[in-house]
Amino acid sequence: MSDTLKGRPSGAGPVVAGYRPEEPGTHPPLDFPDYRSTELRFPRRPLVPLPHRLTEVTGPLLGEGRVGETDHDLTAQHPGEPLGERIVVQGRVLDGDGRPVPGTLVEVWQANAAGRYRHDGDRHPAPLDPNFSGAGRCPTDAEGRFRFVTVKPGAYPWKNHHNAWRPAHIHFSLFGRAFAQRLITQMYFPGDPLFPFDPILSSVPEAARERLVSRLDLDTTVPEWALGYRWDIVLRGRRATPLENEDDDP
């Protein structure tokens, strides 16, 4: 390695197509006092710009071998069915250029129908459900589609402020195809009256909030069995300038 360093490589490294910078008005600020936990955790120094090179435009491909038979069906992971309203949640993972992201791992976790997580730190006095763990995994298909079967999570109280309740939500974790596309977010349900009181959803710039709300979809609904919700997720797109080999993702 040091020989290469001293002599400099004869050929220059590959020119890689970077991803677009974060679009202003998309993501929440790190400093958001209404969400009290940000206070001691947000960095106060300005962020250092990181140009997109090889480490930023590559990423793990973790679909295969990490997903079991019932991982996409949170109602089928125990001997009995969980209590609550059975639902189907499906959608597509796309990039900001409208292209589907196939074969990428989607991970979800959520509270049960009573609004309780199977986690030691959750002290909400609502019942645990012996038939519900609340975690799921699914790789996207060739068109970027994912589909989960679960129960609708309940709202639950948290101690951020007096009478603070989180609207019902499902946590989503996405990889995309590049480190620059990694995203963890939350999906909400349409028409929830708790939206205006929730500092976590409200941390998102107003015009972008609706992107976190799924829609009731009768085509996703399975008649006589489960209501369906549809939610598409858009990861960061490439910069406009097309460069050679930009689709050669390792």
The answer to whether 134 and 117 are in contact (CB under 8 A) is yes
State the nearest-atom distance from the C-beta of 223 to another protein, in Å: 29
- Is 156 noted as a catalytic residue in this protein? yes
Residue 153 amino acid letter: P
- Give, as ranges, the residues between 9 and 38 that touch another protein (CB under 8 A): 9, 11-16, 19, 21-23, 26-30, 32, 35, 37-38
Whichever of 55 and 130 has its CB closer to another protein, that residue is: 55
Gap between the Cα atoms of 31 and 131, Å rounded: 38
- Residues 115, 116, 121, 125, Cα dihedral to 10°: 90
Q: Does 76 interact with another protein (rule: CB under 8 A)?
A: no
- Is 188 noted as a catalytic residue in this protein? no
State the nearest-atom distance from the C-beta of 240 to another protein, in Å: 9
**Per-residue binder mask for another protein (CB under 8 A), 104-143, x = binder:** ---xxx-x-----xxx-xx----------xxxxx------
Whichever of 53 and 161 has its CB closer to another protein, that residue is: 53
Rama region for 245: left / alpha / beta (φ>0; ψ in -120 to 50; rest): left
Q: Does 202 interact with another protein (rule: CB under 8 A)?
A: no
State the nearest-atom distance from the C-beta of 92 to another protein, in Å: 11
For tokens 């992107």, name the residue: 211
- Give, as ranges, the residues between 139 and 198 that touch another protein (CB under 8 A): 171, 173, 179-180, 182-186
Gap between the Cα atoms of 140 and 99, Å rounded: 13
The answer to whether 201 and 209 are in contact (CB under 8 A) is yes
Q: What are the angstrom distances between the C-alpha of 210 and each of 150, 205, 207, 213? A: 22, 10, 7, 5
State the nearest-atom distance from the C-beta of 215 to another protein, in Å: 14
- Is 19 noted as a catalytic residue in this protein? no
Q: Which residues are catalytic?
A: 117, 156, 166, 169, 171
